[in-house]
Amino acid sequence: MRIGITFDLRREYLNAGYSKEETAEFDEPETIEALEEALHAFGYETVRIGNIKNLVRRLAEGQRWDLVFNIAEGLHGLSREAQVPALLDAYAIPYTFSDPLVLSLALHKAAAKRIIRDMGISTPQFKVFQRGDVIEVCEFGFPMFVKPVAEGSSKGIGRHSAVQTQEELQTACSLLLANFDQPVLVEQYLPGREFTVGIAGSGNEARALGVMEILLSEADWAEGYSYQTKINYLEKVKYRLVTGELREQCAAVALQVWRGLGCRDGGRIDLKLNAEGIPSFLEVNPLAGLNPHYSDLPILCQLNGIGYQELIRMIVDSALKKIESGVAL
């Protein structure tokens, strides 16, 4: 089987003048090398396609693949993660991970939360502010948490995000509206423990790979699980597997979210305990990072005794099942 790999190589964008934060979600060479090594280990032939512009050129040249392993995040627009899958759909080429609808929905955190709320799953109350809006106190009151509505890798999260006063809310919203070309999401702040749940598979075959707690030092608590914190994760973050009843509660909520949104093959659901100790939905990551060393999903798997190659095998196997069942597109 010939598997193409679509990705956004970070250094190409850095060389083009984009900032480190703008390119935070993009891939390092070691990620592509690790993916290829895993796919080769299972006997697959691989072709490095690269970003969407390379994909367009190759498709126009008539190139095709049996499957595309897609980790391209895209650069522009609120549906940027959906662009590669949408193009592959147009050419009837199967691919790993979720379809364009799910990827667009998941990237827009407020849109995803509206659906999750309608499903009866706990999620913090929220409000969205756009440029030109009057930044006013939300009905759920302080404290609140402020972040861009459609960013990954915790971009835009920092010490400004947890706000206690109207002045802090105004400052945080103004900062993010000025620095990110998108609305801001203001959420009710949840005081409890924070988790990410790894998932492999699709539909009723989806299963939780583990529940991992994110533990920040007291000195870094105000910074939150931000982009800067993730860069320095070895010094600032501890990861711990959750067991027992809490593990089962978190896994059940995550799988309900995963299946309800129609996510496929593999990814993560981020949860936090609310004031009543109930796991509450924060974000869904259907295109989770796959760096073998610092991405949350491989770290979670490693803690749970699941090797990197085994994780990639589970993702590919799930995608192949979709092809076999005729629902790949």
Count Cβ atoms below 10 Å from residue 224 Cβ, excluding itself. Answer: 21
- Give residue 219's pLDDT: 66
At residue 196, φ and ψ (nearest 5 deg) are -125, 140
Contacts of range 225-229, beta carbons closer than 8 Å, 24 or more positions apart: 225/154, 225/157, 225/194, 226/154, 226/157, 226/158, 226/161, 227/21, 227/24, 227/153, 227/154, 227/155, 227/156, 227/157, 227/158, 228/158, 229/154
At residue 128, φ and ψ (nearest 5 deg) are -115, 130
| Structural contact between residues 143 and 166, judged by C-beta atoms closer than 8 angstroms | no
* Bridge partners of residue 9, in order along the sequence: 27
Tell me the three state secondary structure of residue 263.
coil
Short-list 225, 261, 77, CA closest to 147: 225
How many angstroms separate the CA atoms of 67 and 46, rounded? 10
At residue 322, φ and ψ (nearest 5 deg) are -65, -40
How many angstroms separate the CA atoms of 126 and 112, rounded? 12
User: CB-hemisphere CA count at 13 Å for 178?
Assistant: 6
- Give residue 62's pLDDT: 98
How many angstroms separate the CA atoms of 130 and 46, rounded? 43
How many angstroms separate the CA atoms of 303 and 241, rounded? 7
Q: What is the pTM of this model?
A: 0.94
How many angstroms separate the CA atoms of 118 and 95, rounded? 29
- Nearby residues of 26 by Cβ (< 8 Å), 6 or more positions away: 7, 8, 9, 10, 13, 73
| HEC letters along 25-85 | CCECHHHHHHHHHHHHHCCCEEEEEECHHHHHHHHHCCCCCCEEEECCCCCCCCCHHHHHH
pLDDT tens digit at each of 329 positions of the chain: 999 999 999 999 999 999 988 899 999 999 999 999 999 999 999 999 999 999 999 999 999 999 999 999 999 999 999 999 999 999 999 999 999 999 999 999 999 999 999 999 999 999 999 998 988 878 899 999 999 999 987 888 988 999 999 999 999 999 999 999 899 999 999 989 999 999 999 999 999 999 999 998 776 666 778 777 877 888 889 999 999 999 999 999 999 999 999 999 999 999 999 999 999 999 999 999 999 999 999 999 999 999 999 999 999 999 999 888 876 55
- Give residue 327's pLDDT: 65
- Give residue 267's pLDDT: 98
- Give residue 43's pLDDT: 98
Q: In the chain, count H helices and then E strands.
A: 12, 12
For 110-167, give the DSSP string: HHHHHHHHHTT-----EEEE-TT------TT-SSEEEEETT-STTTT-STTSEE-SHH
Tokens linked to 219: 């000195």
| Structural contact between residues 58 and 272, judged by C-beta atoms closer than 8 angstroms | no
Short-list 147, 118, 284, CA closest to 227: 147
Query: Exposed e or buried b for every residue in 233-255, given b needs 16+ CB within 10 A?
Result: beebbeeeebeeebbebbbebbb
- Dihedral sign (CA 130, 136, 141, 145): positive
Short-list 297, 305, 250, CA closest to 97: 297
